[in-house]
Amino acid sequence: MDGAVPGNPCFPGTYADPEGIVYGDTVFIYPTRSLPFKEQTAMDCFSSTDLRHWTKHENIISTDEVKWAWGALWAPAVLEKDRRYYLFFGANDVHEGETGGIGVAVSDRPEGPFKDMLGKPLINEIVNGAQPIDQFVFRDKDGSYYMYYGGWGHCNMVKLADDFKSIVPFPDGSLYKEVTPKDYTEGPFMLEKDGKYYFMWSEGDWTRDSYRVAYAIADSPFGPFERVGTILESDPEVGTGAGHHSMIQSPKTGRYYIVYHRHPLGATDGNDRVTCIDELLFDSDGRILPVKMTFTGPASGFQ
C-alpha cells in the first residue's frame, strides 16, 4: 500500500482502537483488526511521515506468540523505553476465574515482531469491577509509568515496575486505584499539557451512534477527574460511533492530532470501523474544542 494518498480513513481495511505514537519523525498507528472477536488473532501497524502515505507492517504479534490468548488480541498501547519498544494488549474476553486480560510484549523495532514478555497476563484479575482491557500507559514528568485501564464502566490506575513485568504499590501501599469518571465506559487516555492532566475516555456503546469521547482536567495524574464535556461524537454527514481514541503531537510545530475510529456512513455492522485522524485544538483557557471530523484529514498533513 506504499504510495497511497488517503485522507480519512487513513488506510484501507476495518481497523479500530488506534494507538498513535511518534517515534522520531515517524507516526506509527497500532490498531485492532476490527473483525468478529475470535478472528482478531493478530495485529498490524502502520507508519507514515506525512499522514498521507502509509506503510503497512503485518502480523506484528499474534496468538501464535501469545500462547495464553485463546481468541482475540485488541486495543494496543505502545511506548519506547531504553531503545526497546513495548506493546501492551488486551487478550480474551476475560471474566472472573478465567485466564486473560492485559499482556505485554517487546521488540527491538517499532514495527515488531513483538514477543510476549511474561507468558501470562500482566493483569488478569477483575478489580473494582473493571475488566482488564483498553489499557493506556502514561509516563509522568517524574519518570513514573502509570497504566489506566478498564471496561464494564470502571477505570483503574496502576503503577508499572521499571521493567514493565509487574505492577508495584503506590506510596499508600495499594496496587489499584479506581479513577472512574462520570459516564465512563472504556478506552482511557491521558495527556499532560501545560501542567494540567487531561484524562479522556469513551462513552456509550461501541457498536452504536452513541459512542463518543469525553474528557476531564485535573492537577494530578490521580485526579479527581470531573467530566468537562464531549469532544468527539457522531456526525451524520461524516461518520458515526466515533471513539476509542489516542493523541499525537508534532515535534515540529507542537500541533495535536486525534487518532480514532468511526463507523462509515451507512454501516450496519458494529465491526465496520475505520481509523481516522483529525486536528485537535484547545481554546485560550486550555479546554479542548469539539473535534470536527473530516474526510480529508489534517489539511497540512503532519506539521
- Is the predicted pLDDT of residue 303 greater than 90, yes or no? no
- Is the predicted pLDDT of residue 1 greater than 70, yes or no? no
Q: Is there a contact between 297 and 51 (Cβ–Cβ < 8 Å)?
A: yes
Q: Is there a contact between 113 and 106 (Cβ–Cβ < 8 Å)?
A: no
Q: pTM to 2 decimals?
A: 0.96
Q: Is there a contact between 225 and 245 (Cβ–Cβ < 8 Å)?
A: no
Report the C-alpha gap between 81 and 85 in whole angstroms.
6
Per-residue pLDDT, averaged over 215-236, amounts to 98
- Is the predicted pLDDT of residue 250 greater than 50, yes or no? yes
Per-residue pLDDT, averaged over 214-227, amounts to 98
**Percent of the chain having pLDDT more than 90?**
94
How confident is the model at residue 191, as a pLDDT? 98
Confidence of residue 91 (pLDDT cuts 50, 70, 90): very high
Instruction: Strands of the chain (E only): list them.
Output: 15-23, 26-33, 42-48, 55-62, 73-81, 84-91, 101-107, 115-116, 136-139, 145-149, 156-160, 167-168, 177-178, 186-193, 196-203, 212-218, 227-232, 239-249, 256-264, 274-280
How confident is the model at residue 70, as a pLDDT? 87
Residues assigned a catalytic role: 17, 186
pLDDT by residue (tens digit) across 115-140?
Answer: 999 999 999 999 999 999 999 999 99
Per-residue pLDDT, averaged over 101-125, amounts to 98
